[in-house]
Structure 1
Amino acid sequence: MARGRLRRRLAAIDQNLTTRPDADLVDILRIPEPFVSPTQRIIRRIIYALTALFAAVMIVYLDRHGYRDIESSPNPDDPLSFLDCFYYATVSLSTTGYGDITPVTPSARLTNVLVITPLRVAFLIVLIGTTVETLTTQSRQALKIQRWRSRVRNHTIVVGYGTKGRTAVAAMVGDEVAPADIVVVDEDPAALERAKSAGLVTVRGNATDSEVLRLASAQHAKAIIVATNRDDAAVLVTLTARELAPNAKIIAAVREAENQHLLEQSGADSTVVTSETAGRLLGIAVQTPSVVEMMEDLLTPDAGFAIAEREVEPKEVGGSPRHNPDIVLGVVRGGQLLRVDDPKVDALELGDRLLYIRSAESER
């Protein structure tokens, strides 16, 4: 009954985000873009302008018999020179038009091409460049959102980009997970800006709202990490995420151990009690600080030693994990983790997975 009431409550605050046009989601869903300096942008614009100019020149030159210069050519049948074509294309693309004063001599026309036109292009860049760039940026972002929503599959969603969320993302990236495969959901603009700077896709909103998680494509996610700052929020997010993604793996962090069973009942596959874990490390550090240092090393996948998981190779079937060349800590069989000294895993079977200690340096 309680879960039914909670679902009705979440449905009541549904904002129908996924039904909005992609252009309306630009301020909510952000797809990271590579940084381009202002100098590079201006150079690109100049190159585009010159390309269009030379294309117009060639078009006019190929059809030069169809043009007539009434000022400098006494014979109407004389074709335009290449400089004439260049001049005509220049005044046409720059929207100069034809006035009562027009350059007639070759030197005047050459000056118009080499000096006046670049000044006009620079003026247009300064005058309308910012407006055009803003419009094209929003349109490009809306197009990227549309493509991303249609293609994203098997990604990881991180709810909350505080200390726990940032550390979780750093661990995944260190374990060779592409940043583009990670989506951060948070309400804090500063946290979203940090996630964007790290190359992550971001969604602004409250993850207890099913539409926010649906906008992050939770229904297609491989895993969902719940790293909120409050246990009640973690329970609500887990419940919402499990309803949207019944097949996704949900890992949730909880501050207090008495709330761990609430996360498990809400659908979390794995839970981490942050306060007790930190307390144990603090207690161990009093007598054996080197143990804490080694555990931190094991939890850092991109340096030193790290805990990893792999499938049992055919040549290892039938052997004991304790005699394996790798330092094996446990065996996952049928979705259940068994310690290496458990009699059930004295002989490895095909399909087992080994939890072992690997060296990041040797693998690189």
Structure 2
Amino acid sequence: MIHLPLVRQGPLRALAVRVALAVLLVLVTVAIIYLDRDGYRDINEDGLSLLDCFYYAVVTLSTTGYGDITPVTAESRLVNVLVITPARVLFLIILVGTTLEVLTDQYRNSLRVGRWRRKLKDHIIVCGYGTKGRAAVGALLESGWDKSRIVVVESRPEGVRQATSNGLVTIEGNATRSSVLNEADVKNCKAVLIATDSDEASVLISLTVRQLTAGQVRIIAAVREQENAALLKQSGAHHVIVSSATAGRLLGLTTTAPPLIDVVEDLLTPGQGMALAMRSAERSEVGENPRALATLVVALIRRGKVLPLGGGQSVQIETGDMLVYIRAEEGSTTGTAV
């Protein structure tokens, strides 16, 4: 089931709006009848009082129509044809508004899903919206990725509600199933991020994605245990992040060199101090040493491989290289160098 982000009106407010519209319609009808009361005749033939106008309006709008009060002049009958009859139809629509709203919502949702499918291309699928999945989506949004090009696949109802409330398109289901991934249009996506809480599920998802896409879609996965990283790569993942090992290394780094952990957090936290960024090498930079550039280049990526910049080996920039550098975030303050 596909859940598109939608701001829904509360049930009490929706009911209050319907009641207010019904009362307003009755009052308008009473006013019309009262202004033209001389054109109506009741069985007592003593004229219409305000109470009689209310009575006629209610029984007419509810299609009861006892016939004890009837329009007799041509003007009154014309008003009944042009005004009272459409008001009766509108009153019935308000009364059965709940059923019509459900049908309308279903039709509107089907139109939105169809429109969303037509525009969906080069998107990112996030399997799992737990702690890792939310952090991954947050990093994508902070880097400028369009929220409409992120699709979350989640089986937990609370995860589905949270992702939808955050404005993300969410598909409720198990990402290990081919039908669920096809709902997310996995064949036309840019990448699949696997952020489940189970290493076994991550392996199955990676195998399923590789089978559906023939290995043409990049798979990035997070696993809890180091021993499962090799298995996940064999199942088709291009990049594997070991969460437990990474957390352990950061803990060790904090113990042996406390200031370094602050630098790492600064680099990984957008909007604070420094940040890692990547760009293509410019034409004027081809043939130059990355260390000689004005920007602080920390890595050079050539044809998907990271080239070391340290040591005595001299590396020159070539056309098509990607430069990983450190830039200062806008609005950040410069602190004391460690």
- State the TM-score, normalizing by the size of structure 1: 0.70
- Say if 2:233 is the partner of 1:264: yes
Q: 1:148 to 1:344 in 2, by over 3 A?
A: farther
Q: 1:149 to 1:42 in 2, by over 3 A?
A: same
Number of aligned residue pairs: give it.
Answer: 293
What is the identity, as a one-letter code, of the residue corresponding to 1:183?
A: V
Paired residue for 2:329? 360
| Structure 2: gaps (5+ residues) | 29-35, 40-56, 333-338
- Say if 2:334 is the partner of 1:334: no
Cα deviation, 1:282-335, whole Å, max 9, x if unaligned, reads 111123333222212211234432211110111222221112222111011111
1:342 is displaced (CA, Å) by 6.5
Alignment partner of 1:247 out of 195, 212, 216: 216
Q: 1:131 to 1:281 in 2, by over 3 A?
A: same
- Say if 2:147 is the partner of 1:179: yes
1:104 is displaced (CA, Å) by 7.1
Paired residue for 1:291? 260
Secondary structure of 1:191 counterpart:
helix
Q: 1:129 to 1:261 in 2, by over 3 A?
A: same
What is the identity, as a one-letter code, of the residue corresponding to 1:33?
A: L
1:253 is displaced (CA, Å) by 0.5
Secondary structure of 1:355 counterpart:
strand
Paired residue for 1:191? 159
Secondary structure of 2:330 counterpart:
helix
Secondary structure of 2:103 counterpart:
helix
Taking the aligned partners of 1:103 and 1:284, their CA distance within structure 2 comes to 91
Cα deviation, 1:124-177, whole Å, max 9, x if unaligned, reads 565222221111111211222223233311100011111111110111111111
Paired residue for 1:158? 126
What is the identity, as a one-letter code, of the residue corresponding to 1:285?
A: T
Could you tell me whether the CA contact under 8 Å between 1:321 and 1:345 is conserved in 2?
no
| Structure 1: gaps (5+ residues) | 1-27, 54-68, 73-89
What is the identity, as a one-letter code, of the residue corresponding to 2:240?
A: T
What is the identity, as a one-letter code, of the residue corresponding to 1:29?
A: I
Taking the aligned partners of 2:210 and 2:331, their CA distance within structure 1 comes to 38
What is the identity, as a one-letter code, of the residue corresponding to 2:148?
A: A
Cα deviation, 1:330-352, whole Å, max 9, x if unaligned, reads 01111111123377762211211
Secondary structure of 2:220 counterpart:
strand
- State the TM-score, normalizing by the size of structure 2: 0.75
Taking the aligned partners of 2:163 and 2:89, their CA distance within structure 1 comes to 38
Taking the aligned partners of 2:265 and 2:8, their CA distance within structure 1 comes to 33
Taking the aligned partners of 2:88 and 2:260, their CA distance within structure 1 comes to 69
What is the identity, as a one-letter code, of the residue corresponding to 1:292?
A: I
Secondary structure of 2:145 counterpart:
coil
1:223 is displaced (CA, Å) by 0.5
